[in-house]
Structure 1
Amino acid sequence: MISTQAIGEHQKLRTSPTTEPMPHHQVMQNMDRNACSLVVCGPAEPGLPGRDGKDGIQGPKGDMGAQGIAGPRGIVGPPGRMGPIGPEGEKGSQGVQGEKGDVGEMGPRGIRGLQGPPGSPGPAGAKGDRGPQGEKGVTGETGPMGAPGAPGPQGRTGTPGPKGDNGSVGEKGAKGEVGDRGLQGSTGMPGPMGKTGSPGLQGMKGSIGEKGTKGDSGLSEVNLMKQQVSALQGQLTMLQASLAKFQKVAAFPSGQIVGNKAFVTSGYEGNFDDLRQRCLQAGGQLASPRNAAENAAIQQIVILHKNAVFLGINDIQTEGRFKHLNGEPITYSNWQQGEPNNDKGKENCVEIFVNGKWNDRSCGETRLILCEF
């Protein structure tokens, strides 16, 4: 039996001028829903227009169809505004320490950092062994003369010096008035024999006088006189030598006198042989100190002229045996530490520095002349 609803829907499908023809699959679905629709097996004749179906009952909702194929992904929209910062969460519990990872490859070397501040000095190390003695350096130039020091305290009174030579004989004084005749003195020394006079007339023979007492022999008095004359001549020679020496010293204001020695310089410079010859020509010799006092006097001249001098000392004849120019071995010396060393086998002469110390030096070097009288 065909329901009224089915007939109405069928007519609606056929006669509604405003409705498009129903697809074939939808007709088949309607046929499945209502068995009565199977009666329709061909096109019907057009009938009267049906109602608009607005007053029809809404059918049941169909089942949801299967999900379609996903469409293409749309363009990413602009980022949204940043939301407000949420409250800080509580600190989570410490996780279990993981296993140690493999050592990674060494990264590139970083830029060198700034130098740090110097560390505190470490403790002093142990004293090292003494190194070998270095080669002798070149003698430096003499430094400028220092300012004179404060006067030292007065020294002790020295021992009395040796007795000086007798002074020279003074000029003869004026003849005095004749005095009263004194008592007859002892017989004087016989004077020199005069020239033989012309023979006089022979006199008359006198009376024989009394025999006198035997007198003393005059031979001893003559010998004593000769000895006194010889001593005076020796003293005169010494006085003349001393006078010549002091005349030479007076010509050199920078000289120094120690005892019976005088050390002088003219400022001339030359090698050892040249200086020795010049001192001999002047009547002296190269300065050769025999004690500390003479060495100090030579040192003062070296300081004044700011130049080292050659001494009259060498070991030219025998290496290492230093002697004075007269061949006597030296008994006093004031060597610089480490000297003499005969550097390069060419140092046979001796020089003295401003500090008073000695050093062996090549005789061909040029030094200040310093003579001893």
Structure 2
Amino acid sequence: MLRLVTFCALVWHASSATAPVPQQVVQSWDRNACSLVVCGPSERGLPGRDGRDGIQGPKGEQGAQGLQGPRGILGPPGKVGPAGPIGQKGTQGEKGLKGDAGEMGPRGVQGLKGPPGSIGPIGSKGDTGPQGERGVKGEIGLKGATGAQGPQGKTGAPGPKGDRGPVGEKGAKGDVGAKGLQGATGPQGSVGKTGPPGPKGEKGSLGEKGTKGDSGLSEVNLMKRQVAALEGQLKALQASFSKYQKVATFPGGRIVGNKVFVTSGYEGNFDDLKQRCQQAGGQLASPRNAAENTAIHEIVVLYKKSVFLGITDIQTEGRFKYLNGEAIVYSNWQAGEPNNDKRQENCVELYSNGKWNDKSCGEKRLILCEF
């Protein structure tokens, strides 16, 4: 290998000392060795042994630029340089002029009304509150002083007997009086056997004509007035007796002033109870003051059942009236009542604590009539 290199060097020096001649490549060996070039005959002869005597040939022309090689692989990024100093804050610019107000836009179309919300569920009815303690009975007031008796008037002298006046015309028939309360029906007696008809009696003889008596029209009229007054007193006594008789029949009854409250223990709806009280000559209990309400309350506690009162707002919602159409003059409502729950509560019941509550008339309650 060393010999081949030396030979190639010699050949190169020899060729540079002579004029350029056409070269012809005869053969080439390994890529790492030089090519063997056979030159034509030289004018000056062969080069010396070491080529120091040869003449340097002219510089060859610059060859054409070769094709651009492929792009190299991108190198790694350089290190980040140090941050520059923070710049100074610039001066604030002048405030611009206020712009003109824009024109008002057209009014938007009104939106459609939304559907009404659904009615929420009705809450459950609260439990009945505990019965309050019974109040202490008030003391009886002092009896008022009896007023002084007035002086008795003097008896006047009897007047002279007047002349007999003419007989007056018969007066018109008076109006029929109000029907009194029906008395209690007594027990029916046993039917007796029908007796045989008696014989027809003979006609009696005509008696002597009596003497004509004095006219007694003034006495008769006086008697009539007295009889009418007695009849009125008798009716009042009969009505009072009927009340007390009803109380005696029902041990749970109560008397307050001129009213009597009784019950038979029967239960029914409002219309049924109202009809039964009317058939008995009374009406459903309708308290008009605290004393009457207390009497009804005592009966409710005794029987442990609520009662319907003779009070409704059937005609006008929210305006409670007695059965005769008069507005109520006394009330004792439970807190939060009346509330017309489910819009079906038009009657009034009395609780075990003496308070009132509006209730559906179809419910069943204890009958309590007043007379």
TM-score if structure 2 supplies the norm length? Answer: 0.45
TM-score if structure 1 supplies the norm length? Answer: 0.45
